[in-house]
Structure 1
Amino acid sequence: MSQTQNPAPSGQRMRKTLACTADANAYQKQFGLELRRRVVDEGEPFAIVQADTPHEIFHAMDIPIITNQWWSAYISAKQLSAHYFDVMAQHGFPENSCKYCSLGFACTLASDPKTAPWGGLPTPTVLVARLTCDCIQHVFAQWAKAMGTEFFPMEAPAWEHKEPRWFEKSSDQWETVFDPDRIALHVAEMRDLITLLESKTGRRFDEAKFQHLMEQINVQEGYIWEANQALAKARPCPVSIGEQMSNTMIPQWHRGSDWAVAHARRFRDEVLERIAQGEGAARNEKIRLMWIGAGVWHDPGFYQALEERLGAVFVWSMYMPFAGPQYFRDIKGKPMEALASRICSMNEVLHLPPWMNGWMENEAQRCGIDAALVLLPPDNRLSQSGTKLTGLSLQESGVPVLMLDADMVDAKNWDHDRMVSLVVDFLKEKGLA
């Protein structure tokens, strides 16, 4: 089931139940102000990076980073995406460009300090992206040219080891599961990146600081994974995915920092407390839903729209359960290699079979999922292929699937009420509501 109409976009705010959610949002807001001060006002070196690049290298060198996906979500939440995509088209770029990866570039092309968040980004020291699909190198190369800076591309080598149940071995057998050659290639690239950053910024990479950061990341991811395991078993689900996303992803952008570790622990504690008290995201949970894809950043209230009306709760998205199998690593005295194993596999396990569907079939069973909703961004080619096959896999395993032709940051084809009605009709059709 899909939709083709094009009503006016709309979105609603997320309802918050956890004290730590407000604190996470407040921290990120303050971080944004501090980042703007450091980067825009004081001219510190900084980088624009994709989510699947080695952020830890920058953290260890105290070089601020702006993650492209976070920046796109931020712009989208400000309801600016439609204007910026129009600007891209006016500059001659195709209207079906991948929206998630190109929105930041579109903001730069607009060159309008009056509308842009922070007045727009200044020139970064470098842009970094892995070449995971055909469009990435074009977006980042053009973006670097528009900003007058350098693009540092990283390879995305093929994963020859087909391991659908990779998640059972990823923490302690990562050297084998993720292929030694791929790990070695990324280690070499990260060393080149360090050399480039040292040359351009005058800052030095501290191996001991990096080792400590990797150890603290394990602590942080352990808290999040513990909360997720408890949440998956709990009936009712104590926290719906909007708050799962906030309390997982905001710390992930700061992973390994003292604040991130402390916040992950607090989040776990609040989740466990709500479970102990029998509290749920909905007062009368009847339907457990799975969300596959990135968040709909322009309408966070969508996920809670049917909690009270139908007892339909989104209990799963990729962000929180990703913490355990994909981020946690038994470092084995090889922190750089452990980091490389995480980076080299991130897109496959989220977007490509057999890794994507193998993991998500297992997650649906683990979390007692009744139905799955799959975001199918029309212009995001990497998401489409594996996502459709994962939908088929879930259907074959007995989980009803609704495909939504919509984008995570482009609200042009999104209308809150219509989307909620689509979900209601789907659940009724499948006999769940």
Structure 2
Amino acid sequence: MSVETGQRSRKDLACTADANAYQKAFGADLKRRVVDDGEPFAVVQADTPHEIFHAMDIPIVTNQWWSAYISAKQLSSRYFDVMAAKGYPANSCRYCSLGLACTLANDPATAPWGGLPTPTVLVARLTCDCIQHVFAQWAEALGTDFFPMEAPAWDVQDANWFAKSNRDWDEVFQPDRIALMVAEMRDLIVLLERKTERRFDEAKFMHLMEQINVQEGYIHEAAQLIGRTRPSPVSIADQMPNTMIPQWHRGSDWAVAHAKRFRDEVFARVAAGEAAASNERIRLMWIGAGVWHDPGFYQALEARLGAVFVWSMYMPFAGPQYIRELKGRPMDALASRICSMNEVLHLPPWMSGWMVAEAARCGIDAAIMLVPPDNRLSQSGTKLTAQALEAAGTPVLMLDADMVDAKKWDHDRMVSTVAEFLAKAGLA
């Protein structure tokens, strides 16, 4: 079947519906602020310093969130056809270029919000060759500025970075890389103050960073409990929204309160003996961004095989990558988080070292890895990470599919592929 009709996932937690409702209301309010009221706003990559914008009360549209939003509305295929018709290569990176495709389509009748208005600035780290081309052309199409941020090489190749990142971040992520990121963030603040007439408040920023530590601490506690509990109290169908939606608002009163509520609900389910699948026999790890056009995929084999996706990068990432001992240097602490975000998710030895450790911590039986054929960054370290997992005893299935482009995705075929892989691995 084609997934253009959509496959819904089952949600077990009450707080999941609240998170989705909050994000829906936020989307409506964001549209009002930037489309109807004409407030300044920015389009930014996920691995950029959102905290700067939050501290200045400047709304942001995150490129990855925008892409997932477009994909969930089943519009990706139409927009990528427009890109191809305009002469763009058929193998353009889907995740990063879908927003550009929507702008180039210039079809207010189909576009979410009728299309994006002109943002104050577009911001992206230059983490791969295509980013600067996508964002430069997008900024030109929207008639605004592009603020690129460097992604310098990381010389400290410590596969055990996650055990030291909360406290020793100034050493783990390299002082020179942190200093460069701080300098660029200061330049970004100058640009934003000039273009928006809003001021950066150091005290407000410090409070925000402190609150982020509290929020991520709640998520970390829940992740640790889920990892050691058999059967898992919740699958990633509940983990993803309750982690990622608060992350888009990290440090806000709502985000901190919701993270605590999520943690408490997970603890309550464990205490009551409730599970995502009471017949859990196979614990699965999902590596890569979510398949935003088919969320029901993750629960398709629970009843049939007792195969439960108990791990994805979003939730356990909160502890090692977001929590920082501030040391009176909140800007440096933020820089240490930003300058390493893509590296620890996509490049060895950081990606492979962390995921091998996480598979052991969570008792993972097999890993399913998304390998988008046209997303160079998502391909960079996946094969080496697959080799590391298999060497550690975790079989890996690599799926040739895209997180936002549903053209080559077939729900039934993908579910069957996973089932066959589990059978061949002797797990089903």
TM-score by length of 1: 0.98
CA deviations on 1:61-81 (whole Å, 9 max, x unpaired) are 000000000000000000000
Task: Tell me, in whole angstroms, the C-alpha distance in 1 between the residues paired with 2:380 and 2:43.
Answer: 27
8 A contact 2:102–2:111 mirrored in 1:
yes
Please tell me whether the aligned partners of residues 42 and 61 of structure 2 are also in contact (alpha carbons under 8 angstroms). yes
Which of residues 266, 275, 299 is equivalent to 1:280? 275
- Tell me the secondary structure at the aligned position of residue 381 of structure 2: helix
Task: Give the deviation of 1:14 after TM superposition.
Answer: 1.0
Shift of 1:241: 0.4
Task: Label 1:382 to 1:256 Cα distance change in 2 as closer, same or farther (>3 A).
Answer: same
Aligned to 2:94: 99
Q: Is the 8 A contact 2:281 2:307 kept in 1?
A: yes
Specify the code of the residue in structure 1 equivalent to 2:372.
Answer: P
Distance 1:387 1:10, change over 3 A: farther
Does residue 405 of structure 2 align to residue 410 of structure 1? Answer: yes
User: Which residue, out of 157, 161, 164, partners 1:166?
Assistant: 161
Query: After the TM superposition, which residues 147-158 of structure 1 pair with which residues of structure 2 at under 5 Å, given as runs?
Result: 147-158=142-153
Distance in structure 1 (CA, Å) of the matches to 2:89 and 2:266: 44
Which amino acid in structure 1 is aligned with residue 256 of structure 2?
V
| 4+ aligned runs moved over 3 Å, structure 1 | 6-11
Is the 8 Å Cα contact of residues 3 and 411 (structure 2) preserved in structure 1? no
| Contact kept in structure 1, 2:286 and 2:368, CA below 8 Å | yes
**Counterpart for residue 208 of structure 1:** 203
1:35 maps onto 2:35 in alignment: no
Match of 2:313 in 1: 318
2:248 to 234, 248, 253: 253
Quick one: structure 1 residues 429 and 144, their matched pair in 2 at CA, closer, same or farther if it must change by over 3 Å?
same
SS at match of 2:369: strand
**2:137 matches 1:142:** yes
Q: How far did residue 308 of structure 1 move? A: 1.1
Task: Answer whether contact 1:306 1:312 (CA < 8 A) is retained.
Answer: yes
Deviations 1:87-129 (A, max 9, x none): 0111111110100000000000001000000111000000000
Residue-pair matches, total: 428
Instruction: Work out whether residues 9 and 416 of structure 1, in 8 Å CA contact, stay in contact via their aligned partners in 2.
Output: no
Residue in 2 aligned with 1:229? Answer: 224
1:321-374: per-residue Cα shift (whole Å, max 9, x none)? 000000000000000000000000001100000000000000000000000000
Q: Which residue of 2 aligns with 1:3?
A: none
Q: Which residue of 1 aligns with 2:371?
A: 376
Structure 2 counterpart of 1:51: 46
CA drift of 1:28 comes to 0.1
Cα offset, 1:47, TM superposition:
0.1
What is the rounded CA distance, in whole Å, between the counterparts of 2:187 and 2:127 in structure 1?
19
How does 1:298-309 map onto structure 2 within 5 Å?
Answer: 298-309=293-304
- Shift of residue 9, structure 1, vs aligned partner: 4.9
Q: Cα offset for 1:7?
A: 6.5
Structure 1 distance, partners of 2:109, 2:380, is 38
The answer (yes or no) to whether the contact 1:159–1:179 under 8 Å persists in 2 is: yes
Corresponding residue for residue 267 of structure 1: 262
Query: How far is the alpha carbon of 1:41 from its aligned partner?
Result: 0.1
In 2, distance between residues paired with 1:10 and 1:52?
31
Counterpart selection for 1:121 from 99, 116, 137: 116
Verify the 8 A CA contact 2:4 2:74 in the aligned structure 1.
Answer: no
Rounded to whole Å, the distance in 2 between the matches of 1:242 and 1:293 is 14
What secondary structure, in the 3-state scheme, does the structure 2 residue paired with 1:259 have? helix
Match of 2:414 among 408, 415, 419: 419
**Counterpart amino acid of residue 34 in structure 2:** V
| Deviations 1:263-290, CA, capped at 9 Å, x for gaps | 0000000000001111110121100000
Alpha carbons 1:326, 1:346 under 8 Å: kept: yes
Q: For 2:257 and 2:374, how far apart are their aligned partners in 1?
A: 38
Q: Which residue of 1 aligns with 2:215?
A: 220
Identity value in percent: 79
Distance 1:318 1:97 in 2: 24
The Cα of 1:405 is off from its aligned counterpart by: 0.0
Aligned to 1:153, what secondary structure does the other structure show? strand
Aligned partners of 1:61 and 1:206 also within 8 Å: yes
Tell me the residue number matched to 1:367.
Answer: 362
Gaps of 5+ in 2: none
How big is the shift at 1:432? 0.5
Counterpart pick for 1:340 among 321, 335, 340: 335
Q: CA deviation at 1:10?
A: 5.3
CA shift at 1:385, angstroms?
A: 2.3
Displacement of 1:46 after TM fit?
0.1
- Decide whether the 8 Å contact of 1:9 with 1:415 is kept in 2: no
Aligned to 2:324: 329
Report the equivalent of 2:60: 65
Cα distance in 1, alignment partners of residues 353 and 96 from structure 2? 26
2:84 counterpart (67, 85, 89): 89
Is 1:241 the counterpart of 2:265 in the alignment? no
The answer to whether the aligner puts 1:188 opposite 2:183 as a matched pair is yes
Contact 1:11–1:415 (CA under 8 A) maintained in structure 2: no
- 1:8, CA displacement in angstroms? 6.8
Report the residue type matching 1:266 in the other structure.
R
Structure 1 residue 11 displacement after superposition = 3.2
Distance in 1, Cα, partners of 2:198 & 2:254: 23
5+ unaligned residues in a row in structure 1: which ranges?
A: 1-5
The question of whether the paired residues in 1 share the 8 Å contact of 2:370 and 2:398 is answered with: yes
